[in-house]
Structures are given as structure tokens and as C-alpha cells.
Structure 1
Amino acid sequence: MKPRYSFSSRRTGHIGNMKKQRPKYPDLLVKVVNESDVLIEVLDIRFVKEMQNPDAEGWIVKQKKPLILVFNKTDLLDKKELGDKIVELESMRPFLFISTKSRRGISVLRDAIKRETLKVGKEYTRVGVIGYPNTGKSSLVNVLVGKHSAGTGAEAGFTKGIQKLKLMQGVVLLDSPGVIPPKEYSTIDQSKQSKDATYGARSYNKVKYPDDVVNDIMKNYPGVVEKHYEIKEIGDVGIILEDVGRKKGFMKKGGEVNEDMTARSILKDWQEGRIKVK
């Protein structure tokens, strides 16, 4: 039985001669892995181990296909933090550090793709791009291809289906939808939803209890939210919501702070990298 996956978007796309009936997302992911000669797994540098997909990696290893690990969003870390990450992730080598925003490491990645596709030895090679939602997969595809061919957005799950794009002579990129492994996905379990939202895999506007997610972020990353909003009180989510809500003008009738709107705004700042992980 094939592993079941749940995805952040319900819409799908198509590639090649697919059946008229739109395939489900699990089939799309399996198709990308099966039809690709080389795979690129894109991960957020801040949450590499948390966002790995062991099942998908297992399929790739079983088929003996090259896997390039790409750690994106390095622009969100300073020099010291980046150095610490290199040490922390040493056991995962080989890997590449990139930033689709600053274009850091893109030429190195291009060279790696060329090497791996040459090793495959085919006249026509497919390179599949996989990863969690909101890791920058489509942004990376756009940078590699050199134009806005893949739709991008800060909202998790923006890519709607598989896209087939020419990278270079004889090499095509397959951009796949972001996927949350089944063990990490739930529409009921609040702890899983909070975890997914913390790592940006579940969009801030699709979280049921955004204040709980903010509270979890404050517990797991002490002081970072308070520092960003210049608030002296540490560790009290109620004070944070009250203070930030008033500063941003998120008010209800009667002068009360709209805590839901405020929490979503804080979560948006977190997911888009404005609140720095220290």
C-alpha cells in the first residue's frame, strides 16, 4: 500500500499525458519521484530536521536516485547563526546553502544539477523539486529557470500542481506541490497544527487557534517575539497580543483588542521571516 499524504491545497495540476480526471496529490508526489532522474529536496534552513520528509527520501533512496539537499532562506540567519547551522547539520552532508532572495548559492546549485544529470547519462533528464509547503520551492524554480514560470506566494501550498519547466538543454524541472507527511498533518490535533504553522507549512490564515501557535513559538523560542515588537514583558502571550494589537490598531468595537487578528499578524511576521529565530 502506498503511503498516504495530506496536502495544503485541494487543487491539482497535470503534466504530460495524464488522465482527464485530476490525480490526487499523493499520486502527484509519487509521480514526481518516479519520473525524475534527480531529486532536489528544499528545506527551510531554520527548521531543516523538522521539515525533512523521510518517506519521500526513502522512495528516492530505494530507487537509487541522486538527492540534492538544498537549505533555503539563509538570508534569515546572520553569519554566526549560519556557522552554527553548518556544525549542527554536518551529519547530513552533502548539502547546499542557498537564498532565493539574495541568489546566494544558486550558481553552485546549477553546477551540482549539471554534474548529477551528466551522471544519469540520458539525452533527456528530469529533475524533481520536492519539499514542505512554504520552503521556497517555486521561488527556487523561478531563479533557476530565470523567469517567473512557477507561481509563488508566501502562503503555504501556493503551488497548485506539477509544473514542467525547461532548465537547460535536455534538462527539465518538475515543480511539485508542498506536502506535509501524514504523521505530521492533522485537521483535528492542535499540537500538530501548531507545529506545522510554526514551521510555515500551514499558513497563518488557515490556523484555527493562532494565539496558541504564538504561545508555542514564545515557549520554544524565548524572547524573539518580544524583541521584535520591543516589548519588555517576557513570556506572557496575553500581554503580547494586547500590546501588539493596540500598536497595530487591531481593535473591536468597545475598545477591545482583536486577539485573533493580532495573533495572525504576529504569525504572518514569523512565517515570512521578519521575526528572527535566535
Structure 2
Amino acid sequence: MTIQWFPGHMAKARREVSEKLKFVDIVFELVDARLPRSSRNPMLDQIVQQKPRLILLNKADLADPNQTALWTSWFKEQGYEVLAMNAKNDKSVKQIVPAAKKVLAEKLARDKERGIKPRAIRAMVLGIPNVGKSTLLNHLAGKKIASTGNKPGVTKGQQWLRFGSQLELLDTPGILWPKFEDPEVGKRLALTGAIKDDLLHLDDLAIDELGFLRRFYPEQLKERYKLTDEEIFQELPELLMLIAKKRGFKDDYERASEMMIIELRQGRLGRYTLDRFEEYTE
């Protein structure tokens, strides 16, 4: 299964981002903590260039904490400031401004020496669809100011949003890239909801999900679907059919596939990380 998705408004957004960079002090790169590599746009380095950057590993509450710790250390070794967070959590969100000030410490010190009056940090929020940008903006504001949804591509335009006296954010649509060089990246993005479901074969995706969970989180899989040690190691299509029957779907494996994918995204199968640190570093 090969997955590609590059709506027209994303090409336009990419151009607009390049034009607006000169107006911001820092880029907030929002990344799905369950996909620390796959949910990063490989074009972003070319677009952002030398602009200071803070990487926000969002949805860390859904990710495997051991994997998140490994990825956080790796990003820091690459020279990035990184914050594992949950955009729905007050404590997490309140750490963003201090982290941004840390990244901008030299600039802020220079401004102070020159007698430049302190002003709000101006940041641009960038990330692929469905990593939680609108959720973050709404939480910062304490009210709904940006559209949110479980479907990717909700935010279609750019808008400046002010949060108190310390932060101004330029929201942008989620930007994917024209082609996934690695088909596994497309599958992982699809599993977490970064690609519209109507572009996917959900039964194939559910089988990929089963293979992943059986390999890395077998106990979580057994517990959720009441599987025995013997049942979990049968062929994956048969395992999907068995789960369909256990859930009362009889032979409706398409309905079972949709159910499994939704439950994975909602964290009902426990915390997980699809981008395995050990596989990338090998």
C-alpha cells in the first residue's frame, strides 16, 4: 500500500511560510511524539534554514515514555531545544515560553545590552496535519480561536494570535511533503490520523497495526482484545478476523479494522511509539 497526499493548499502554505519567516523570532516545530521522525517534514530544514527552532514533541501522553526519553536526548544531541508535552495540559503548555527564551537567550541578551525594550516573542507554529497545532493554540488562549478536529487539514489559512504579553504566534496550515520516500512513513502517518482515512485501505492498515503491536506491545494487544498466547501468533489476517468475531462484528473485518485504528489513535491500546529509536539509530 503506497500512500501519498499533497493537497493544493499545502503548496501555497509552503510559499507563504517562506515569506513570513522574516517576521518571527523563532519557529515552533510541532511533532507527534509517537512519530518523532516520521512526523517531521523533511522540507522544513530548507524552509526554516537558520531560524531558531524549538521542537515540541506533542501527544507525549500517548507515546511510549521510554522511547520519548531516547528521542528527546537524540534531538538535544543534534543541537535542538526540545520539549515533550501535551497540548491539552496546563503544566506542559506553560513550559513553552521558558523553553523559547532559552533558545533565544543570546538574542534577548543582545537586545537588553542595546537598550531595546522587551516585547512578546514572535513565533511561527509549523507541523504536519493533525499533530495538535490548533489544540495548542486554543489551550494557550483559554478559548476556541482555531478550528480543531480529528481530520487532517482543518486549518487552511494563516493568522496571528496573541497570548498575554509574552507570546505572539503565527498559525499555519499543516504542511506535508509531495512524496514519501519511505512507504513505511506513509503508513505510520496514516495510523496516527495525519492522512485522510478516505484515501486509505483500512484493512491493510489494521494488519500493519497488528504486526507492529504484536512485535513491540504484545501484552497491550492481548489485554485489549482478550487474546491468548496461542491466538496472538496466528497469521495476521486470521488474527484480524478473530478480533472481529470477539467484538461481535462476525466476518465484517472492515468494521473491525476501523475500530482498531480508532482505538489505537485514542490510546485505548496503551501508550506506543511507532518510530522506534533503536531502528533509526541502527
Question: TM-score scaled by structure 1?
Answer: 0.75
Could you tell me which residue of structure 2 aligns to residue 145 of structure 1?
A: 141
Say which SS state the counterpart of residue 144 (structure 2) adopts: coil
Contact 2:138 2:145 in 1 (8 A): yes
Say which SS state the counterpart of residue 49 (structure 1) adopts: coil
Could you tell me which residue of structure 2 aligns to residue 18 of structure 1?
A: none
Change in 2 beyond 3 A, CA 1:91/1:165: same
Matched, 1:24 2:7: no
Say which SS state the counterpart of residue 168 (structure 2) adopts: strand
Deviations 1:173-232 (A, max 9, x none): 1121112222328xxx976642431343114x3243111112222333423544432323
Give, in whole Å, the separation in 2 of the partners of 1:87 and 1:52.
17
Change in 2 beyond 3 A, CA 1:30/1:90: closer
Give, in whole Å, the separation in 2 of the partners of 1:198 and 1:213.
7
Give, in whole Å, the separation in 2 of the partners of 1:142 and 1:125.
18
Matched, 1:211 2:165: no
Give, in whole Å, the separation in 1 of the partners of 2:84 and 2:51.
21
The Cα shift of 1:171 comes to: 4.1
Could you tell me which residue of structure 2 aligns to residue 243 of structure 1?
A: 242
Give, in whole Å, the separation in 2 of the partners of 1:151 and 1:161.
11
Could you tell me which residue of structure 1 aligns to residue 115 of structure 2?
A: none
Counterpart of 1:68 (choices 39, 47, 54) is: 54
Say which SS state the counterpart of residue 189 (structure 2) adopts: helix
Contact 2:57 2:83 in 1 (8 A): yes
Counterpart of 2:39 (choices 51, 69, 82) is: 51
Q: Which runs of 5+ in 2 are unaligned?
A: 112-117, 274-282
Residue identity in the other structure for 1:201 = A
Count of aligned positions: 252
Say which SS state the counterpart of residue 101 (structure 1) adopts: coil
Deviations 1:102-122 (A, max 9, x none): 334322212233566783758
The Cα shift of 1:244 comes to: 3.2
Contact 1:6 1:179 in 2 (8 A): no
Contact 1:45 1:72 in 2 (8 A): yes
Deviations 1:14-51 (A, max 9, x none): xxxxxxxxx93333443454543321001111211122
Give, in whole Å, the separation in 2 of the partners of 1:258 and 1:190.
27
Counterpart of 2:253 (choices 243, 254, 259) is: 259
Q: Which moved more, 1:79-88 or 1:94-103?
A: 79-88
Deviations 1:138-189 (A, max 9, x none): 111122222221111222222232232112337421121112222328xxx9
Give, in whole Å, the separation in 2 of the partners of 1:112 and 1:59.
22
Matched, 1:269 2:228: no
Contact 1:7 1:178 in 2 (8 A): no
The Cα shift of 1:234 comes to: 2.3
Question: TM-score scaled by structure 2?
Answer: 0.74
Q: Percent identity?
A: 26
Could you tell me which residue of structure 1 aligns to residue 96 of structure 2?
A: 109
Please report the RMSD computed on the Cα atoms of aligned residues, expressed in angstroms.
3.3
Contact 1:210 1:264 in 2 (8 A): yes
Matched, 1:91 2:77: yes
Give, in whole Å, the separation in 2 of the partners of 1:170 and 1:94.
19
Contact 2:126 2:172 in 1 (8 A): yes
Contact 1:6 1:25 in 2 (8 A): no
Could you tell me which residue of structure 1 aligns to residue 190 of structure 2?
A: 197
Say which SS state the counterpart of residue 68 (structure 1) adopts: strand
